[in-house]
Amino acid sequence: MNNSDDISPFLEIQRLSKSFPGTVALDEVSLNVCRGEIHSLMGENGAGKSTLMKILAGIYQKDSGQILLNGQPVEIQNERQALQSGIAMVHQELNNFPEMTVAENIFAGREPSRLGMVKKEELNSRAGIILQEFHLNIDPHTKMGMLSISEMQLVEIVKAISCNAAILILDEPTSAISSIDADFLFEVLQRLKKQGVAIIYISHKMEEVFRISDRITVLRDGKWISTGYSTEITRDELIHKMVGRELKELFPDRTSIPGDTVLEVKNLSRQNAFIDISLSVRKGEVLGIAGLVGSGRSEFIKSIFGFPPADSGEILVMGKRVHIHSPGDAMNNGFALVPEDRKLAGLNLLGTVMFNTTLAVLPRFAGFGGMIHRTQEKQAAGYIASQLQVKSGTMNQLISNLSGGNQQKVVLAKWLLVEPSVLLLDEPTRGIDIGAKSEIYQLINKLAMEGMSILMVSSEMTELMGLCERIIAFRKGKISREFDRSGFNQEHILAAIMN
């Protein structure tokens, strides 16, 4: 798209508002998107980005305002109507059917049929052609649940594209995929852009937003803040517009020197995941693990926590061998794990903030007969939540109503109450905004300064380079190289993790 104001918008959103009980999610927001444009939507969690897109996709209904396509007003009452209008959305949270095949997922609700019977051969053939067109080496007969998270995300994108959408909405599409898959996705988006598809792109990753966007719109607290060409705004200006303040030190300086070795892993292996991994983490050190999806990085860090345990090798804490067969064993030996998917493995979304915060240490508050002393529980939860600056109305608020960044802080709060000596972090800032990231970076730095040993997996190279003393590169289930802070080089690290 050229920087020309004479290109008429294909999609126009005019003064759109939406409220939920106690919250104004959108307050008269307006923006427009042209054909053949990649238009990024930026803002902190809770800014209204996803709410706005869910209205376009027919999931939510607007309270007021107007939506125009090609200059004509449209009313979008449901998702089917959105698809009929040419609007398809790929959600941040995967929306698939694990027990159905890839082909059945791609054409769910649109299966080729005759006399009420699905034409399986045609279904698989058409899915195979689409997957091949996008260079995805995925068997259409495979059950969706057998794919990696990265592959599932790519199939969801292919599904949306297969609907011949004129407007494609992508909500955090690279939050769960490797940098290689992200590069492939960007190639696909450029191809769609040339075909005239209007693409609305939501992401917290600054690098990719500036890399692919024609224009960027910023929302804050449910209000429109600005729209401009990506070539005419700096990263610092964009952050300031998003958070309403400057983040001068995204990655804080640390002057302390790591101490003695706390965690040592020797020749740890697990079948079909990783082999012969040996490393150590010192007191007060942040050790990073870099690798592509499928490199064994997350599987390794979970096995240290006994989830599931390794097949062979040794784990030593303060020089003493420990036997970890379950998460309970890991906790008893001073470990805590913040998992990659907070909603699937880190939180009970039906529970309150307090329930989720104290879940791992409930026996601490048990009195005679196992009764929980609620006052003590509330005091402990309130204290740690205030230390981490968790923003919630009350400790009895449902965790599902918190922003992604605040949910992640609750996961961290839960494990910090355990008072671990070794903190395992798997993608600790996945899917959260720049302001919340800054706060979590500050927290990680503070914990290390206080002497905690931290082992961290991240797909964001800048995050690893900004926080870690050392980075271990994983490739095909093995360690390929180790980097010290003085020798950090993004190109060299990427070369070490590439298959």
Average pLDDT for 129-144:
88
326/431 same-domain check: yes
Distance from C-alpha of 165 to C-alpha of 198, rounded to nearest angstrom: 9
The CA distance from 285 to 276, in Å, is 22
**Residues present in the chain in total:** 499
Classify residue 248: in a domain, yes or no: no
Task: Give tens-digit pLDDT for 232-281.
Answer: 999 888 888 887 766 666 788 877 789 999 999 999 999 999 999 999 99
CATH code: domain of residue 468: 3.40.50.300
User: For residue 482, what are the β-bridge partners?
Assistant: 472
Of 179, 212, 242, at which residue does a domain stop? Answer: 242
Q: How confident is the model at residue 175 (pLDDT cuts 50, 70, 90)?
A: confident
Q: Which of 210, 242, 274 is the last residue of a domain?
A: 242
Give 491 or 25, the one with higher predicted confidence.
25
Please say whether the beta carbons of 217 and 231 come within 8 A.
no
Give the separation between CA 258 and CA 4, rounded to whole angstroms: 54
Let me know: does 231 contact 3? Beta carbons within 8 Å: yes
481 found inside a domain = yes
For residues 181 and 326, membership in a common domain is answered with no
Please indicate, yes or no, if residue 146 is contained in any of the structural domains: yes
Task: Give the model confidence (pLDDT) of 188-209 as tens digits.
Answer: 899 889 999 999 999 878 889 9
Q: Specify whether the CB–CB gap between 474 and 296 falls below 8 A.
A: yes
- Side by side, the strands of the sheet bearing 223-229 are 87-90, 167-171, 198-202, 38-42, 215-220, 223-229
For residues 231 and 294, membership in a common domain is answered with: no
204 and 310, same structural domain?
A: no
Write the DSSP string, 453-490.
Answer: EEEEE-S-HHHHHHH-SEEEEEETTEEEEEEEGGG--H
Structural domain contains residue 208: yes
How confident is the model at residue 248, as a pLDDT? 62
- Looking at residue 287, what is its pLDDT? 97
136 three-class SS? coil
Is the pLDDT at 45 greater than 80, yes or no?
no
Report residue 274: phi and psi, to 5°: -155, 160
Q: Are residues 316 and 457 in the same domain?
A: yes
Q: Give the CA distances from residue 177 to residues 88, 308, 460, 490, in Å, rounded to whole numbers and listed in that order.
A: 20, 22, 11, 18
Residue 447: the pLDDT is 93
- Mark whether 40 and 181 lie in a shared domain: yes
Is 1 inside any structural domain? no
The arithmetic mean of pLDDT across residues 106-110, rounded, is 85
* Whole-number Å distance between alpha carbons of 458 and 444: 13
DSSP H or E segment with residue 30? strand 23-33
The rounded Cα 59 to chain-centroid distance in angstroms is 21
User: With the CA atoms of 295, 296, 301 and 306 taken in that order, what torsion angle do they form, in degrees rounded to the nearest 10?
Assistant: 170
Q: Is residue 255 included in any domain, yes or no?
A: no
Mean pLDDT of the chain: 88
Residues 217 and 332 in one domain: no
Rounded mean pLDDT, 337-359? 87
- Which stretches of 174-220 are DSSP H helices? 179-194, 206-212
Percentage of the chain surpassing pLDDT 70? 96
Bigger pLDDT: 459 vs 448: 448
On whether the CB atoms of residues 166 and 10 are closer than 8 A, the answer is: yes
Do 310 and 210 share a domain, yes or no?
no
**Cα separation, 70 vs 194, whole angstroms:** 18
Say whether 105 sits in a helix, a strand or coil.
helix
Say if residues 347 and 399 touch (Cβ distance below 8 Å). Answer: yes
For residue 78, tell me if it sits in a domain: yes
From the number of C-beta atoms within 10 Å of its C-beta (0-12, 13-18, 19+), residue 277 rates as buried
Q: Is 140 exposed, middle or buried (0-12, 13-18, 19+ CB in 10 A)?
A: buried
Its domain, for residue 454, covers 261-497
Amino acid found at 11: L
Q: Are residues 267 and 234 in the same domain?
A: no
Residues 103 and 54 in one domain: yes
| Residues forming a β-bridge with 23 | 20
The residue from 208, 242, 276 where one domain ends is 242
Q: How many domains does the chain have?
A: 2
Instruction: Note whether residue 254 is domain-resident.
Output: no
User: Which residues make Cβ contacts (< 8 Å) with residue 106, sequence separation at least 6?
Assistant: 127, 130, 140, 155, 158, 159, 162
pLDDT at position 255 is 75
pLDDT tens digits, 283-316: 999 999 998 777 899 999 999 999 999 999 999 9
246 or 490, which is more confident: 490
* 322 and 225, same domain (yes or no): no
Asked whether residue 360 falls in the same domain as residue 437, the answer is yes
